[in-house]
Structure 1
Amino acid sequence: MSDLIPKGQGAQRNVINRFDRYTFEPEDYELDKIKTQVTEVFPKTIINVVKSPDLPMDYSMNPYQGCEHGCSYCFARPTHEFWGYSAGVDFERKLMVKKNAPELLEKTFQKKSYVPKPIMLSGNTDCYQPIERQFEITRKLLQVCLDYRHPISIITKNALILRDLDILEKMAEKNLISVSMSIPTLNEDLRRVMEPRTSTAKNKLKAIEALSEKNIPVNVMIAPVIPALTSDESLSIMKSVSEAGARSCGYTLVRLNDTVEPVFVQWLEAHFPDRKDKVLNLIRSMRGGNLGEKRFYERYKGEGNIAEMIHKTFEIGKKKFFNNRERAVLTTEHFTGSRTQQLRLF
């Protein structure tokens, strides 16, 4: 492995922003010197209405833009380009925080027109990425949801979620919370380079155990499944997370849309040059000759023998390790809406 490979990040360099004519490209020797920059932004709303017909959620909420975790395959990378940044190093090092998110959420809940439905936190970048230790925006959002008895689901790669067990346990008592822990690999050497600033696989398993012991329902997302890189681990991951207490398990096939493609290809070149062509060719075999897929439903199904083998593997694993277990269905029946604000007057 080259000494020039940047440590603690997935992107090897910046890639050209689709919307810009020029992009800043640091020299190789500068890559390790790039520091994380945090900028406060001031959105007018915090809840997004999810319109994709193949996603099982109505609302999503993202307290941060960009993500320090550094996963080279992250589907959210291209969203950074709308802010004028690159999907490469910028996505991991130029972060935006929404400090006013809890206030915006409370104002939304108080609207008479608001229709309560479970909110996905986060639908884009990880709400428990390392800067959450400093800003605690996610914790404040959870407290608002508890105050208003509003259901929320969380997806994360970080055991930092255990910091908020006190709030999560109270929400679980009213069926207001579910957690999805993302675990694409149990191979620590692979995790260290594939998602360098996430929690270790061991700590993710400990988090599943701790959450489950508090009756907080946990789903595990084995995502993405990457042929010739992580695809041989699926059954072992399912076994381990089942034993840790997870109630359900899902998965997605890797897809490299837009500027995710060059970031992932460069990452393969840096860390797995001997496997690069094999991995990319197998991805193409699942994606009709392409590396990406944007069509609704098709983006999750894939095609060809490799995709079919992966699907069959998960069918077997679910029957063996998750038989008679069901994913949590959250309730909105306890939502207080504007009544919470009225009660605070007494």
Structure 2
Amino acid sequence: MQGNEFIKGRGAQHQVKNRFDALSYEVRNDFLNYCAAEGEEATSSKTSFIDTFPKTIVNKVTSPDVGMEYSLNPYQGCEHGCVYCYARNSHVYWGYGAGLDFEKKILVKRNAVELLEQKLRSKSWKAAPIVLSGNTDCYQPVERKLEITRKLLQVFLKYKHPVGIITKNALIQRDVELLAELAKDNLVRVNLSITSLDERTRQLLEPRTASIKKRLQTIEVMKSHGIPVSVMMAPIIPSINSHEILPLVKEISERGAYGVGYTVVRLNGAIGEVFSEWIRKAMPGKAEKVLHQIAECHGGNLNDSRFGTRMKGDGNIADQVAQQFAIARKLYLKDRGRPVLNCDLHEQYKDGQMKLF
């Protein structure tokens, strides 16, 4: 076993030092070779789940570039393993690394449901859409077993409170009946992430996510049950999926999506190291070209923290991406409006049932 061997089923290809830790360790090639010769496993490939009990669960979002006011994340870390994920940087605040730790050490917020109910019953709370998965995916694989997201949706329905969902997992189809009930009162919007139509690209970028076929099918399922669904083609990565904009928007339009959004990839903090290591293993022939084109979108840097431009980028490549989306929307999504979530019902249901007087 060599240190440059590609780790299948994972996005990150190595551990990344937590910048807050004074000490770090590395796995050397001679140790890997010894383990291979002895038939031993150098490191565990299993995912571990760590129970946590936070004091609050609804987060105020202050960024002017993010289209949400409040978010709720039942999990921290994400087994999907998307190599570009901006949420990797947040894992260091929990004491872990942004690389393999982000995919292998998942924090589970065991009291999420109770905390949400407390929030929605609070006299001071005024209804505003709360988005599930502002950071990590609420339908990542462990949700199949734990059903925390499903129970959260039951709370939103009980209190007639608006909720948004961002996911790239077809597991959301399990909860279609709940979502349909919420949709009857215009209390839910689903935002499905589809980065590419090419399954090979999906497997490399997002190794433990639902297949493209399953995600396209999910759009149809949502549409058939009256649940408004849009698509996020995020992120756009030059020379990897930037050529797919028009065909992807055409495909999702035919399946029933009402809209599409996008971001241009940016590699802030430890993500630059994670992504660079990954692409030099996964796509060695085009690695330097892609990294240079990403930098071209962000003033010559892989990272970008400028409000107003960081999500869409600037320069020739970013302009071409924006123009393609403008054309795609005009061709395939014309006259499809974005539904506004209903914030008027919740006050009548603050105690869990409609007030009669």
Written as runs of structure 1 = structure 2, the 5 A alignment for 1:287-302 is 287-302=298-313
Which residue number corresponds to residue 19 of structure 1? 20
How far residue 34 of structure 1 moved from its aligned partner, in angstroms, is: 2.0
Q: Say whether the 8 Å CA contact 2:348–2:354 is kept in structure 1.
A: no
TM-score (structure 1 length as normaliser): 0.96
Q: Which runs of 5+ in 2 are unaligned?
A: 33-40
Q: Say whether the 8 Å CA contact 1:157–1:198 is kept in structure 2.
A: yes
Alignment partners' CA distance in 2, 1:259 and 1:324: 41
Which residue number corresponds to residue 232 of structure 1? 243
How far residue 54 of structure 1 moved from its aligned partner, in angstroms, is: 2.2
Alignment partners' CA distance in 2, 1:271 and 1:255: 19
1:125 to 123, 128, 136: 136
Alignment partner of 2:82: what SS? coil
Written as runs of structure 1 = structure 2, the 5 A alignment for 1:128-147 is 128-147=139-158
2:294 to 278, 283, 289: 283
Which residue number corresponds to residue 305 of structure 1? 316
Which residue number corresponds to residue 67 of structure 1? 78
1:262-291 Cα deviation digits (max 9, x unpaired): 100011011100100100010111110100
User: Identical aligned pairs, as a percentage?
Assistant: 49
Q: Say whether the 8 Å CA contact 1:159–1:204 is kept in structure 2.
A: yes
Which residue number corresponds to residue 8 of structure 1? 9
Q: Say whether the 8 Å CA contact 1:70–1:196 is kept in structure 2.
A: yes
Q: Say whether the 8 Å CA contact 1:15–1:87 is kept in structure 2.
A: yes
Amino acid at match of 2:6: I
Q: Say whether the 8 Å CA contact 2:159–2:353 is kept in structure 1.
A: no
Alignment partner of 1:134: what SS? helix
Q: Say whether the 8 Å CA contact 1:102–1:141 is kept in structure 2.
A: yes
2:344 to 333, 336, 340: 333
Runs of 4+ with >3 A deviation: 24-33, 336-339, 341-344
Written as runs of structure 1 = structure 2, the 5 A alignment for 1:1-346 is 4-26=5-27, 29=32, 30=41, 33-336=44-347, 339-341=350-352
Alignment partners' CA distance in 2, 1:173 and 1:58: 23
Alignment partner of 1:300: what SS? coil
Q: Say whether the 8 Å CA contact 1:15–1:23 is kept in structure 2.
A: no
TM-score (structure 2 length as normaliser): 0.93
Alignment partners' CA distance in 1, 2:156 and 2:281: 43
How far residue 295 of structure 1 moved from its aligned partner, in angstroms, is: 1.6
Alignment partners' CA distance in 2, 1:33 and 1:337: 51
* CA 333–281 in structure 1, closer or farther in 2 if over 3 Å, else same: same
With 20-29 and 276-285 compared, the bigger mean Cα shift is at: 20-29
Alignment partners' CA distance in 2, 1:314 and 1:343: 43
Q: Say whether the 8 Å CA contact 2:173–2:218 is kept in structure 1.
A: yes
Q: Say whether the 8 Å CA contact 2:120–2:350 is kept in structure 1.
A: no
Q: Say whether the 8 Å CA contact 1:109–1:337 is kept in structure 2.
A: no
How far residue 26 of structure 1 moved from its aligned partner, in angstroms, is: 4.2
Q: Say whether the 8 Å CA contact 1:14–1:90 is kept in structure 2.
A: yes
How far residue 166 of structure 1 moved from its aligned partner, in angstroms, is: 1.1
* CA 337–25 in structure 1, closer or farther in 2 if over 3 Å, else same: farther
Aligned residues between the structures: 343
Alignment partner of 2:310: what SS? helix
Alignment partners' CA distance in 1, 2:285 and 2:347: 57
1:32-58 Cα deviation digits (max 9, x unpaired): 732101000010110001111222211
How far residue 27 of structure 1 moved from its aligned partner, in angstroms, is: 5.5
How far residue 22 of structure 1 moved from its aligned partner, in angstroms, is: 2.5
Amino acid at match of 2:192: M
1:47-83 Cα deviation digits (max 9, x unpaired): 0011112222110000000000000000000100001
